[in-house]
Structure 1
Amino acid sequence: MSEPTAAAAPASPSVLAALVAELSSGGIEVVDLTAPLSSGTPVLRLPPEFGQTQVFELEEISRYDDRGPAWYWNNFRSGEHTGTHFDAPNHWVTGKDLADIASVPARQLVAPAAVLDVTDEVAKDPDFLVEVEHIEAWQDRHGALPDGGWLFVRTGWSSRSHAQEPFLNADANGPHTPGLSVACARWVAEESPVTGLGVETVGTDAGAAHGFDPAFPCHSYLMGSGKYGLTQLQNLDRLPSTGAVVIAGPLPIVSGSGAPARVLALVERTGRTGQAGRTS
């Protein structure tokens, strides 16, 4: 007579099954960091002697009519760097021989994020510049920046994104928006472990960066180091200082220098009501 067979231990859920369960239960929240894309989305303005990016436009093909009785669809026209968008290394002359937007490895589109909050400083001075010491103070409190992750700078600037004029905040001397100092931009590009920089403003550089040396140092140093930029982000106030995982999905435009992107963050919630990570 054969011995009874012991019952197999129940299989533990896979990591992906556990993720799906947490998403369904609200244990992990999906936070949309993307600005809605429309003809009213603010765009960068350059001096008139330079080429300008295209304001987003829709062109209706058909809408349940004689051009197509059962379907609605559009053509659209847009600059690569309009709205919430992803800067590839070849966007700047320092990275001209590096990756285009279609060549960014998919693995690098999913990465952890560190959130540096300088909203109080920017409320007092719209030209506020983040220095290396600000990031070092953040690291003293929260630990090292994530290897292969993002550094997001929360400035509160997305509250201005409803219209072009307050968002660009320009006068006769040029735009007044926050950003990184030259030394900080170089440190993030060349010494930090992050894969890129994310901001709420129209571009990764401060409004006054045209007068820096080098001009536009975030673009110059980050692109030249093969790193990335994410701009015109929203809802950074809903992210913890550490612990969020970001999914950045740009259009893979062959030879493109960037692309509009849908940027999402996965945030673990404690007790379904509070953030798992610290927010300051």
Structure 2
Amino acid sequence: MPVLQDLLDALRTRRVAVVDLTAPLHAGTPVLQLPPPFANTIAFGLEEISRYDERGPTWYWNDIHTGEHTGTHFDAPVHWVTGKDGEDVAQVPAARLLAPAVVLDFSAESADDPDFLLEIEHVRAWEAGHGALPEGGWLLYRTGWDARSADATRFLNADEKGPHTPGISVACARWLAEETALLGVGVETVGTDAGGAHSFDPPFPCHAFLLGAGKYGLTQLQNLARLPATGAVVIAGPLPIVGGSGSPARVLALVET
């Protein structure tokens, strides 16, 4: 298998680097907060079973308590009503968990305006300089929001009107879902939609259009600044939860150095 051996050699000699795009998962990991009367997921938690003691003299292990959409996670189509007849996370074909990726960097715009929205013309301008979006690949949307991830208050950035985080406009979300051959969209924020997307028409358009089109979401990514605009390969590893709407995931990128 010379192709795989070439990849192993490239990793060994560091001609290909592995970039971890995953946020550490712990009790302080920011979690999406929905207003009443909607139900919310729980924070991540560990419950010790034994730790080299009378409960288990030579082993340490824990029960974990978390939601499917906690930390860096994968959204499957069935997560949204528009995709209710689509794949659950266990049904996503393994071959689709490894795919090319491009990075659209709008961190400067998002620093100036936390409610910044990606529009179709932004993507078209990016394509004019970098080429077409990858067929069967990820659009990774860099906003610089991962710099806030250690502080849940700054990360969620909410006031009396709700959260203020960058996202994607209704028109652009529909276009990405219906007019491109993308596999899905990845973001650095708590969800694929903008903080103010509850007031859009339709609400939460990334969820509604992308998942409804059988595409996927990746959220709370980190280190997108370490990826090139084109040429990276993303490996997304959700748990294959039967009937699950999503899963925390370890997301890695392969990058030529």
Q: TM-score range by the shorter chain?
A: over 0.9
Q: Which residue of 2 aligns with 1:9?
A: none
Of 185, 210, 219, which aligns to 1:231?
A: 219
RMSD: 0.6
Q: Which residue of 1 aligns with 2:60?
A: 72
Of 48, 62, 65, which aligns to 2:36?
A: 48
**Matches of 2:36 and 2:60, distance apart in 1:** 37
Of 101, 112, 119, which aligns to 1:113?
A: 101
**Matches of 1:251 and 1:54, distance apart in 2:** 18
Q: Which residue of 1 aligns with 2:199?
A: 211
Q: Which residue of 2 aligns with 1:256?
A: 244
Q: Tell me, yes or no, if structure 1 residue 97 matches structure 2 residue 76.
A: no
TM-score by length of 1: 0.91
Q: Tell me, yes or no, if structure 1 residue 37 matches structure 2 residue 25.
A: yes
- Per the TM alignment, residue 48 of structure 1 is displaced from its structure 2 partner at its CA by 2.4
**Matches of 2:91 and 2:133, distance apart in 1:** 25
**Matches of 1:73 and 1:57, distance apart in 2:** 13
Give ranges in structure 1 of 5+ residues lacking alignment: 1-12, 270-280
**Matches of 1:77 and 1:97, distance apart in 2:** 27
Q: Deviations over 1:103-146 (max 9, x none)?
A: 00001000000100001100110000000000001100010000
- Per the TM alignment, residue 164 of structure 1 is displaced from its structure 2 partner at its CA by 1.0
Q: Which residue of 1 aligns with 2:160?
A: 172
Q: Which residue of 2 aligns with 1:245?
A: 233
**Matches of 1:40 and 1:213, distance apart in 2:** 32
Q: Which residue of 1 aligns with 2:45?
A: 57
**Matches of 2:222 and 2:245, distance apart in 1:** 22
Q: Which residue of 2 aligns with 1:153?
A: 141
Identity of aligned residues (%): 69
- Per the TM alignment, residue 248 of structure 1 is displaced from its structure 2 partner at its CA by 0.1
- 1:17 partner letter: Q
Of 249, 253, 256, which aligns to 1:265?
A: 253
- Per the TM alignment, residue 222 of structure 1 is displaced from its structure 2 partner at its CA by 0.5
Greater gyration radius: 1
TM-score by length of 2: 0.99
Deviates more, 1:48-57 or 1:27-36: 48-57
Q: Secondary structure at the match of 1:20?
A: helix
Q: Which residue of 2 aligns with 1:273?
A: none
Q: Tell me, yes or no, if structure 1 residue 126 matches structure 2 residue 110.
A: no
Q: Tell me, yes or no, if structure 1 residue 21 matches structure 2 residue 9.
A: yes
**Matches of 2:168 and 2:222, distance apart in 1:** 18
**Matches of 2:239 and 2:2, distance apart in 1:** 30
- 1:124 partner letter: D
Q: Which residue of 1 aligns with 2:178?
A: 190
Q: Which runs of 4+ in 1 moved over 2 A?
A: none
**Matches of 2:70 and 2:195, distance apart in 1:** 17
